[in-house]
Amino acid sequence: MNLNSPLLPETFYHIYNRGINGEDLFKQERNYNYFLSKYIIYLEPVVETYAYCLLKNHFHLLIRVKDIDTLYNFFIEQIRNKEIKQGLHNPDFIVSKQFAKLFSSYTQSINIATNRSGSLIETPFKRIEVKNETYLTNLIWYIHNNPQKHGFVNDFRDYPHSSYQAHLSNRMVWEFC
């Protein structure tokens, strides 16, 4: 998929990214929840999140972009609040813009906290459109198994920075942040 194309309404995507040159994204334990809190602010208005896993130097998300009316209303609200200027941004790219805001906000906070400067997260972020149910099902497993695959834990079910526990309990993904 073209990384410069818009994320389409009512479409599932595997979103993933890593730190620049493999640098750690999460420097301290508290950074995981901080990232999720920023994610909720910037992305929850425009996407539904079905799975996530945050690892020390990269992350994986399974999202579904909300419907066109929701995206359009969010875009109009951004213009009203003067968060974006009319005519400067195409509403087709509102989800990508929200990811950019998340990454920028998180990077600025980490830079201040760790006395670093510059980019932290690679751009553009990677995405794969989920085109069938088999891939969707396998992706949920893949995302949750990632900490075990990379040797962070012996059993992915013990990893605290994923949505796995929310899936087990049938609770909202964000209730475990």
The string of pLDDT tens digits covering residues 61-106 is 999 999 998 988 888 888 777 665 544 456 678 899 999 999 999 9
CB 23 within 8 A of CB 67: no
How many Cβ atoms are within 10 Å of 123's Cβ, its own excluded?
A: 11
Helix (H) or strand (E) holding 134: helix 133-149
Provide the whole-model pTM. 0.89
Domain spans of the chain? 12-176
Q: Are strands 126-129 and 12-18 parallel, antiparallel or unpaired?
A: antiparallel
CB 11 within 8 A of CB 64: yes
Report phi then psi at 75, rounded to 5. -60, -45
The stretch 148-175 carries a mean pLDDT of 80
Q: Are strands 12-18 and 58-65 parallel, antiparallel or unpaired?
A: antiparallel
Residue pLDDT, tens place only, 103-154: 999 999 999 999 999 999 999 999 999 999 999 999 999 999 999 999 999 9
Report phi then psi at 163, rounded to 5. -90, 10
Residue pLDDT, tens place only, 16-53: 999 999 899 999 999 999 999 999 999 999 999 999 99
Residue at token pair 């209730």: 175
Domain 12-176 of CATH type 3.30.70.1290: yes
From the centroid of its chain, how far is CA 53?
Answer: 9
